[in-house]
Amino acid sequence: MRAIIAAAGTGGHINPGIAIANKIMEQEPSSEIIFIGTGRGLEKDLVPRAGFKLKTIDAHGIERKLTIQNVKNLYATYKSIKAAKNIIEEFKPDVLIGTGGYICVPTVLAAKKMGIPVVLHESNAYPGVAVKIFKNKADKILVGFKEAKERLDNKENVVVTGNPIKLKRKNFTALEKRKIIHEIGLNDEKPIVLVFGGSQGAQSINRSMTELIVNKKNKGYQIIWAAGPEQYDKIKQKLSEVHVNIDKIEDVKIVPYIYNMEEVMNVADLLVCRSGAMTITEVAMLGKPAIFIPFPYATENHQEYNARVLEKVGAAKIILDKDLNSEILSQMLKEIIKDNKKMKEMGEAALKIAMPNVLDKIYEEIKSVKL
């Protein structure tokens, strides 16, 4: 198979594209796959690191207001259709796969003009702009949640496949679990709350967590908290101002980044995090209870829509960013942690949302439309 994957911006767009590319290569080792991105987002690092060639075009997201910069971006994006067409003409793909973001607009327009089949994958519960624009033009639209399909008018070409993720559910032995927990720097006698806000951290979550720890509200549980590389030093400084040593807080381990996230998520008892599509999918796959704090500035407020998917089945609680403070977070943590039966029920409810064999389904759908 010869495939072009259009993916740009965030890991939530690029990682599914890489997972799909790897699946195609696994099934058809003689395949040739290239990516189209902008070179400004994470694709410039993630795509080459995954072993795929990245071609770039000058596409931009368009804001809904009239500014000189917006007009320039619109013109550059319009011109990028021709650049995408040149790449397609040279590569001669069997299919173009878009995994989200503004890069899909010029690439899909170019592909459709040239008669190349188009498959779009939408990871969020609320469909993004690209899917809305091309809902009648794409040969297939693959969605991560059934709620996304329900929000699209034309459902004939929409298939619920789930989202491709790297993390897997692990059934660790008691000994293996104890070893992982001890390596974190915690003990296996109290429940563990894992807190993270994406690879760069989340300021509002970090602020509330700092207050919670300074005021010693974390009673009856332990915390492993990935603060984000850029924010870790600020938190360390903030804590030192009130004479708290970041490395010597009882029942708390604060780190810039967690590199063995699969292991840590599997041993954690409760998660506190944002609600990007991949995070929601991971929480469901691992069967973990969660407190979601949706990022309020996500396009179309899609993180809240994602979080509602798990809240609706009783697998998660939600605190809106505008309502977040250490008191509310502390109270919710306390209520969930003290009820083992409730935590178990939340985890089991999350598992019911999880979709098996996601990449197999996606591959079959791509194969069904390719030239």
Each residue's pLDDT tens digit, 208-241: 999 999 999 999 999 999 998 889 999 999 999 9
Q: Which residue bears the tokens 């979550």? A: 205
What's the average model confidence in pLDDT over 54-69?
A: 76
pTM to 2 decimal places: 0.91
User: What is the signed CA dihedral for 227, 126, 58, 199, rounded to 10 degrees?
Assistant: 10
Please, are residues 252 and 326 in contact by the beta-carbon 8 Å criterion? Answer: no
2-162+356-369 CATH choice from 1.10.3720.10, 3.20.20.70, 2.70.98.60, 3.40.50.2000: 3.40.50.2000
Minimal CA–CA distance to 358: which of 23, 1, 5?
A: 23
Please, are residues 57 and 28 in contact by the beta-carbon 8 Å criterion? Answer: no
Give the Cα separation of 49 and 178 in Å (integer). Answer: 33
The secondary structure of residue 101, as a DSSP letter, is S
* Strand blocks (E) in the chain: 2-6, 32-37, 53-56, 95-98, 118-122, 140-143, 158-160, 192-196, 222-226, 252-255, 270-273, 290-292, 316-318
pLDDT band for position 130 (50/70/90)? confident
Please, are residues 118 and 371 in contact by the beta-carbon 8 Å criterion? Answer: no
What's the average model confidence in pLDDT over 256-260?
A: 92
What's the average model confidence in pLDDT over 112-122?
A: 96
Rg (CA), the chain: 22
pLDDT, tens digit, 9 for 90 and up, residues 261-306: 999 999 999 999 999 999 999 999 999 999 999 999 888 899 999 9
Tally Cβ neighbours within 10 Å of residue 43. Answer: 30
Q: What are phi and psi of 142, to 5 degrees?
A: -100, 130
pLDDT value for 300 = 85
- Mapped onto helix, strand or coil, the DSSP state of residue 185 is coil
Q: Give Cβ neighbours of residue 277 (< 8 Å, ≥ 6 apart).
A: 12, 123, 124, 125, 144, 163, 302, 306
Minimal CA–CA distance to 57: which of 35, 34, 38, 29?
A: 38
pLDDT, tens digit, 9 for 90 and up, residues 70-85: 667 676 677 789 999 9
- Mapped onto helix, strand or coil, the DSSP state of residue 337 is helix
pLDDT value for 102 = 83
pLDDT band for position 201 (50/70/90)? low
Q: Which residue bears the tokens 């939408």? A: 122
Q: What top-level class would CATH report for the domain 174-353?
A: alpha beta
Beta bridge partner(s), residue 119: 97, 140
Please, are residues 13 and 302 in contact by the beta-carbon 8 Å criterion? Answer: no
Residue 193 has pLDDT above 70, yes or no: yes
**Domain(s) of CATH 3.40.50.2000: residues in the chain:** 2-162+356-369, 174-353
Q: For Cα atoms 63, 199, 336, give the angle at the middle one, nearest 5 degrees.
A: 105
Q: Which residue bears the tokens 């690092």? A: 45
